[in-house]
Amino acid sequence: MPDAVDPAIARRHFERAAGSYAISSRLEAEIGARMLERLDYIKMVPRRVLDAGSGPLRDARLLRKRYRGAQVIPVDFSLGMLRAGRGPFDFFRKKISLCADLARLPVAAGAIDLVWSNMALHWAADPLPVLREFHRVLKVDGLLMFSTLGPDTLGELREAAGAARMHAFADMHDLGDMLVAAGFAEPVMDMERLTLLYADGAALLADLRASGQTCALPARIGDPQRGLKGRGFLATLQARLAAQRREGDGKLPVSYEVVYGHAWKAAPKRGADGRSIVRFS
């Protein structure tokens, strides 16, 4: 993918935002709640749940409450995020948490019943290796459920800042194709558009910084201002965002395209030696 996220830069941003992420990531909290509602229609009793891109363990706690008998394992590439979610008397204080790249999980093949990933996949440099890794750690008939951002996200900021300074998010149909390429069966994809209202551009940018969701594109030679940096550029950006505020209440509408997906890991059709597997009931 051109203009792919630099994971090292993204990790640094989330490390800095570890203390403020929980109160600034309202969209992620809302999407997590909507994903939990979708689980009402899926009958499964998982023994192990992997919360991939857990942040400060918000969804991990909700998953543990839902599946009391399950081992819920949070994994995030930011150690600061994992630590921020552990209180002195928290259930997860002495439980397993993994600090790891989602494309290289320190988890045995077939060990997980449910992989849950809320708004984390768009921080991967390439989603396909991550989806393949999710497929590897799932057991046969295991479920992947995820949400991520689609290409129409932050259109207002993209217009004001310029496309070269913004992340490119994968399309819903491309993600569906990646699920099939990763080996998943029966992928189901859907999408919804949400609009958040901010007092002004400064409030939007402050929210993005506090939640660690700032530009993580690698710098290009001769383009030191690749991200949203520089006083002159920020002044111009604020002015452009101000021009997009609504008449009447003066609020700045900001669009998000949220993509949802779930898919199952089917029994393999071929063995490791390439021969076809035929099953008789």
The CATH number given to whatever domain includes residue 153 is: 3.40.50.150
How far is Cα 172 from Cα 259, in angstroms, rounded to an integer? Answer: 6
Task: Specify if 275 maps to a domain.
Answer: no
Give the pLDDT of residue 153: 96
The percentage of the chain sitting over the pLDDT mark of 70, rounded to a whole number, equals 90
- Tell me, yes or no, whether 214 lies in a domain: yes
Q: Which residue has the tokens 């949220």?
A: 258
Mean pLDDT of 64-79: 95
Compute the distance between CA of residue 260 and CA of residue 114 in angstroms, rounded to an integer. 15
Nearest to 12 by CA among 97, 81, 87: 81
The answer to whether residue 231 scores a pLDDT higher than 80 is: no
Whole domain around residue 34: which residue ranges? 7-264
Mean pLDDT of 211-228: 69
Q: Which pLDDT belongs to residue 279?
A: 64
Residue 277 domain-assigned? no
pLDDT value of position 222: 43
User: Which element (helix H / strand E) includes 178?
Assistant: helix 172-181
d(CA 72, CA 62): 10
Flag whether 89 is in a domain: yes
CB atoms within 10 A of CB 46: 21
Question: Is there a domain that residue 1 lies in?
Answer: no
Residue 276 counted as domain residue: no
Q: How far apart are CA 195 and CA 92, in angstroms?
A: 33
User: What is the Cα–Cα distance from 262 to 42, expressed in whole angstroms?
Assistant: 11
Number of domains composing the chain:
1
Please say if the pLDDT value at position 220 is more than 60: no
Mean pLDDT of 246-257: 95
Q: What is the pLDDT of residues 111-162, one digit of tens each?
A: 999 999 999 999 999 999 999 999 999 999 999 999 999 999 999 999 999 9
- The pLDDT of residue 9 is above 90: yes
